[in-house]
Structure 1
Amino acid sequence: MTHRLKKEKNYSYIEAGEGTPIIVLHGLMGGLSNFDAVTDFFSRKDYKVIIPELPIYGMSLIKTNVKHFAKYLHEFIKFKGFEEVILLGNSLGGHIGLYHTKLYPESVKALIITGSSGLYENAMGGGYTKRSDYEVIKKKAQDVFYDPEVATKEIVDEVYETVNDRNKLIKTLAIAKSAIRHNMSKDLPNIKTPTCIIWGRNDNVTPPEVAEEFSELLPDSELYWIDKCGHAAMMEHPQEFNKILDTWLKKRGF
């Protein structure tokens, strides 16, 4: 199902369904369409799924970092009038969700992270000396997934366009550095929010040991694995991802 992008005030976002709000946070190179299966599945249940376009390339360079994105998310939640939300983030989106929860714990009912940065990542922000070589970029995009076929031409084209736009590349590198700078290992033991960790066993960007460390450091967390799966579980195995998350939400009473 194709979802229409809403534009209100300074925000662009997709919204579908009615009920408990689930705010979905995309990654550095991730589009809103990466979560189509999540949106379709949970918007048919008792959830309102909202995916804001994060201002990855829209903020000044000094504000292009995890902390400012977390504050942007806080302003968006206030704009929508939500008191409590469920946050679901992939990659950089997971990191933003974690940092937001650190700053504003009272507004987060539950947290779901998948392939999240925040402890370590084999950053997408690096290794662009051959960025004009389409085949090199194609291989880099394919490496994000267990099955390289998931990296469609549309996805590869988008990554290629991003890294060959000087302004976007500078901000991509700034975000990658920010993700390393905002390491959350000391913060995680203080985050008491119920957290569901869903991870691909074959993730090359944030390897499986990262998921295990998240699981150890977050006091109220549960870790679930998806086999033959890379960095974007909700794209590679959407049905399994949705089933795990749906079961966890029901078990926790969300």
Structure 2
Amino acid sequence: MELRRQHQQGYEYVDEGQGPVLLLLHGLFGALSNWQDVVDEFSADYRVVIPLLPIYDMPLTQAGVPGLVAYVEGFVAALELPSTFTVLGNSLGGHIALVYTLNNAARVSRLVLTGSSGLFEDGMGGSFPKRGNYAYVQERVGYTFYDASIATQDLVDEVFNVTNSNSKCLRIIAIARSAQRHNLSKELAKIDIPVLLVWGLNDTITPPPVAHEFARLLPQAELRFLDHCCHAPMMERPAGFNAYMRRFLRATEAAPAFAA
């Protein structure tokens, strides 16, 4: 299905399906469309909600992990989401999901993290975006995927247009530096809920040792790898990603209450 964007109280988002809520958070150069295959797979059984994070136009003084977490908190309140729900995050979105959970422990029942920052990330291949250099942007976008052909011209053009704007570049750099400063290694033990980690075995941005460290530090973590896959498994290996996620959701569903 084509993702239908909605607007409410200044928020832009996708809201598809009915049932328990899955709140999906995209990464630094991400978009709502990154989660297309997840929406297609799960919206028959779940209410899939995806806010468009204001990475490129939020106030510069708020451009960072805390500011984005506050944005998600405002979004959850504006949509009056249920008291508890499952949160998924890719890359920076995983980092936001973790901090949101630390700040709102009673609201998050489960987490799914894929290529998450929060411990270590080699953003943009070790350097910040170079304004006006299309070949550089094409190379860096391709660096996100095991199969560089997934980095279509439309995707490269989108990132190039972003990095060709001084104001947007300033926000990207501020957010990336904020993510690098906000190391969560000492906080993760507090997240004592089921967590699924789905990682690309060929991830060059948050490499497999990062996934193993998340698994070590999170008390209830389950780690799964996908081969021939880099930093965005839900885009590059959607069938495998969705299969792992489906099994995890089924295994961690709250047991139904029995009448006396």
User: What does residue 99 of structure 1 align with?
Assistant: 99
User: What does residue 257 of structure 2 align with?
Assistant: none
Over 6 Å off, 4+ runs: none
Q: CA deviation at 1:131?
A: 3.3
User: What does residue 79 of structure 2 align with?
Assistant: 80
User: What does residue 69 of structure 2 align with?
Assistant: 70
Q: CA deviation at 1:12?
A: 0.6
SS of 1:124's equivalent in the other structure is helix
Q: Deviations over 1:115-146 (max 9, x none)?
A: 00000000128534743221111011001100
Specify the code of the residue in structure 2 equivalent to 1:55. P
1:60 aligns with 2:49: no
SS of 1:34's equivalent in the other structure is helix
Determine what percentage of the aligned residue pairs are the same residue.
43
1:171-182 residue pairs with structure 2 within 5 A? 171-182=171-182
Relative to structure 1, is the Cα distance of residues 18 and 165 closer, same or farther in structure 2, using a 3 angstrom cutoff? same
Whole-Å separation in 1 of the counterparts to 2:58 and 2:228: 36
8 Å CA contact 2:131–2:165 kept in 1: the answer is: no
Q: TM-score, normalised by structure 2?
A: 0.94
SS of 2:78's equivalent in the other structure is helix
Whole-Å separation in 1 of the counterparts to 2:69 and 2:193: 16
1:138-153 residue pairs with structure 2 within 5 A? 138-153=138-153
8 Å CA contact 1:124–1:176 kept in 2: the answer is: no
Q: CA deviation at 1:74?
A: 1.4
8 Å CA contact 1:134–1:160 kept in 2: the answer is: yes
Q: CA deviation at 1:16?
A: 0.6
Specify the code of the residue in structure 2 equivalent to 1:133. N
Whole-Å separation in 2 of the counterparts to 1:144 and 1:104: 30
Q: TM-score, normalised by structure 1?
A: 0.97
Higher mean displacement: 71-80 or 122-131: 122-131
Specify the code of the residue in structure 2 equivalent to 1:245. M
Whole-Å separation in 2 of the counterparts to 1:125 and 1:76: 31
Q: Aligned pair count?
A: 253
Q: CA deviation at 1:101?
A: 0.3
Q: Deviations over 1:63-111 (max 9, x none)?
A: 1111121121112112222211110000000000000001110010111
8 Å CA contact 2:130–2:163 kept in 1: the answer is: no
1:221 aligns with 2:218: no
Whole-Å separation in 2 of the counterparts to 1:34 and 1:17: 17
Cα root mean square deviation, aligned: 1.2
Whole-Å separation in 2 of the counterparts to 1:125 and 1:157: 18
8 Å CA contact 2:125–2:140 kept in 1: the answer is: no
8 Å CA contact 1:128–1:163 kept in 2: the answer is: no
User: What does residue 124 of structure 2 align with?
Assistant: 124
User: What does residue 258 of structure 2 align with?
Assistant: none
Whole-Å separation in 1 of the counterparts to 2:126 and 2:241: 28
8 Å CA contact 1:125–1:173 kept in 2: the answer is: no
Specify the code of the residue in structure 2 equivalent to 1:105. A
8 Å CA contact 1:57–1:168 kept in 2: the answer is: yes
User: What does residue 197 of structure 2 align with?
Assistant: 197
SS of 2:106's equivalent in the other structure is helix
User: What does residue 41 of structure 1 align with?
Assistant: 41
8 Å CA contact 2:128–2:173 kept in 1: the answer is: no
SS of 1:137's equivalent in the other structure is helix
